[in-house]
Amino acid sequence: MIAARFPILPASRRGELSNALPAMKQRGICPVIVNDAFLPNVFREERIQIWYGGSGSGKSDAKATELLLKCIVKDYCRVMFCRKVFDSIRMSQFQLFKDVIKRNGFEEFFNVTDHNMRIVCKINGNILFARGLDDVDKITSVADVTDVWIEEPIDKKGSISSSDFTELNRRLRCPTATNHIHLTFNPITSESWIHEYFFKSNEYEAFKLCTTYKDNHFSPPEMARQFEILRTKKPDEYKVYALGEWGKLKQGLVFPEYQIIQDFPMDCSKWGYGLDWGFYPDPTALIKCGIKHGALILDEVIYENNHTSGSRAETMKARGVLTTHKIIADPNPEAIAEMKTKGYYNIVPAKKGPGSVKAGIDHMKEFSIMLTARSVNLKKEFDNYAWQINKHSEEPTGEPIDDWNHGIDAGRYWTMANAIQRQGVRFA
């Protein structure tokens, strides 16, 4: 079975897949879909391997591909894939593994178990499994692990600490194979122990590979266009998010952590729409919202200026929003009444009151937040929506700045409506 998929790789040399892959691809017989930038760098010997760079460079996808290939061709391989928060793994690393398996036709090699996020190689029993690093002391299965993959260890909320890494590195000592720790991330802040350990000093020796969206041959043209806009309007952000250069997080972000997923999942336990009217000069923001496995998923459906009630309705219909779908809207009676005349009878006003903004933010923070890849304006809001800063202490206050929040407000309306239905929430 393996010989059929990797025809130029003798059984005795399957461990040298990193050398074989480029040649296989050149001959047009490589079954693995992966960007050229990563092909020469799979199966390296260094214990610590760092793939970092700009958003959308394909580094996480390529890492998932590499680790699946290792499980196929190695006699013994146990991969533990991790993030700080366990609930965030399902829609990030685990979903990537499933996508890679499907894209490359690897179903014949793997059994995938969704409920415990476990993947077993049918050929040799090698496994990949998920663990959260919220408490490293609780991880007892590292002794038999050959590879640890930590995705996005740098986040202002939910970052991996230096002590987490040190403890994990100490425990990773499988005697039957070479051990590796893989780190993949966007270097959003140089105020990080990772920058100190691996880039400023020689605390640890590590292989480092930097890639950008320009290395990802599978990215949509829209991504390049958005980065070019960012290069012109916000060159500092362009350096960090597009080119993968070390940056500095904006102080006091309301939502410092989120993830990007490709599409809105079809199997959310709850879903609906939030609507912020966007009267001139603000944009109309219609956000599709859903909850799945502890994640709040937000999808930008409309984010446009100069809409009237009539044009909003027509645009909504054109983008698949049915008149029967429930919409939680900013409580403007006239605008809601006008939308009902256009057929949207299931539109209801959001509950507002003293403390409702902060309460809505708090309820959004109960979830790990995921944005779809097409939500480019919503992503900008999350990168800029910040708390007011106390002039004396220079610390964030408990009140957000009323800016960069149109799509966020729409998501907040829906989340609060769900919380009220679920818990009978009251405002402070």
Within a domain: 321: yes
Q: How far is the C-alpha of 59 from the C-alpha of 157, rounded, in Å?
A: 22
| Residue 221, domain member (yes or no) | no
Write down which residue in 215, 242, 272 finishes a domain: 215
Instruction: Please check whether residues 209 and 275 belong to one and the same domain.
Output: no
Number of domains in the chain: 2
Position 126 scores a pLDDT of 95
Same domain, 204 and 266: no
Q: 287: which strand partners?
A: 274, 300
- Tokens 């937040």 correspond to 369
Query: Is 15 domain-assigned?
Result: yes
Distance (Å) of CA 137 to CA 90, 132, 134, 304, 361: 22, 11, 9, 48, 31
CATH at residue 92: 3.40.50.300
Name the residue type at position 355. Answer: G
Whether residue 351 sits in one domain with residue 208: no
In a domain, 246, yes or no: no
248 found inside a domain: no
CA-CA distances (angstroms) from residue 131 to 81, 117, 118, 285, 406? Answer: 6, 9, 10, 36, 35
304 and 165 in a common domain: no
CA angle (402 as vertex; 398, 404 as ends), nearest 5: 110
- Check: CB of residue 55 under 8 Å from CB of residue 260: yes
Mean pLDDT of the chain: 85
Question: What's the rounded mean pLDDT across residues 119-127?
Answer: 94
Residues 304 and 365 in one domain: yes
What is the phi/psi pair of residue 416, to 5°?
-65, -40
Asked whether the beta carbons of 106 and 31 are under 8 A apart, the reply is: no
**Element at 242 (helix H, strand E):** none
* 141 and 278 belong to one structural domain: no
CA distance 354 to 359: 9
The amino acid present at 157, given as its one-letter code, is K
For 88, list phi and psi in degrees, rounded to 5.
Answer: -80, -10
Phi, psi dihedrals of residue 225, rounded to the nearest 5° = -65, -40
Rounded mean pLDDT of 255-264?
91
Taking only the tens place, the pLDDT of each residue in 78-106 is 999 999 888 889 989 999 999 999 988 88
pLDDT value at residue 367: 93
DSSP string across 302-350: EEESS--HHHHHHHHHHTT--TTS-EEE---HHHHHHHHHTT-TTEEEP
User: Which is nearest to 381 in space by CA: 295, 239, 278?
Assistant: 278
Average pLDDT over residues 223-233: 88
Strands (E), 344-413: 347-349, 368-372, 387-389, 396-400
- Identify whether 247 is part of a domain: no
pLDDT of residue 284: 93
Task: Tell me the residue range of the domain where 179 lies.
Answer: 2-215
* Domain shared by 180 and 325, yes or no: no
| Highest mean pLDDT out of 141-155, 188-202, 268-282, 363-377 | 363-377
Percent of the chain with pLDDT over 90: 50
- Beta strand ranges found along 177-227 (DSSP E): 180-185, 207-211
Classify 140 as helix, strand or coil. coil
Q: What is the pLDDT of residues 134-188, one digit of tens each?
A: 777 767 667 789 999 999 988 654 578 888 898 899 889 898 888 999 999 999 7
Q: Identify the weakest region by mean pLDDT among 1-5, 237-241, 256-260, 311-315.
A: 1-5
- CATH number of the domain enclosing 305: 3.30.420.280
12 secondary structure, DSSP code? G
For the cut 50, the answer to whether the pLDDT of residue 29 exceeds it is no
Lowest mean pLDDT among 18-32, 144-158, 411-425: 18-32
Same domain, 263 and 403: yes
> Per-residue confidence at 427, pLDDT binned at 50, 70, 90?
very low
Q: Which residues of 297-329 are buried (b: 16+ CB within 10 A; e: fewer)?
A: bbbbbbbeeebebeebbebbeeeebebeeebbb
Confidence of residue 291 (pLDDT cuts 50, 70, 90): very high
Together in a domain, 89 and 211: yes
In 3D space, the residue among 350, 353, 349, 361 whose CA is nearest the CA of residue 402 turns out to be 361
Can you give the pTM of this predicted structure?
A: 0.58
Cα separation of 274 and 411, whole Å? Answer: 5
Q: Is residue 224 part of a domain?
A: no
Do 76 and 195 fall into the same domain?
yes
47 and 181, same structural domain? yes
Does residue 241 sit within a domain?
no
User: By three-state DSSP, how is residue 147 classified?
Assistant: strand
Boundary residue ending a domain (162, 196, 215)? 215
Confidence of residue 405 (pLDDT cuts 50, 70, 90): very high
Specify whether 267 is located in the same domain as 172: no
- Window from 49-53, 130-134, 371-375 with minimum mean pLDDT: 130-134
CA nearest to 153, candidates 83, 101, 219, 65? 83
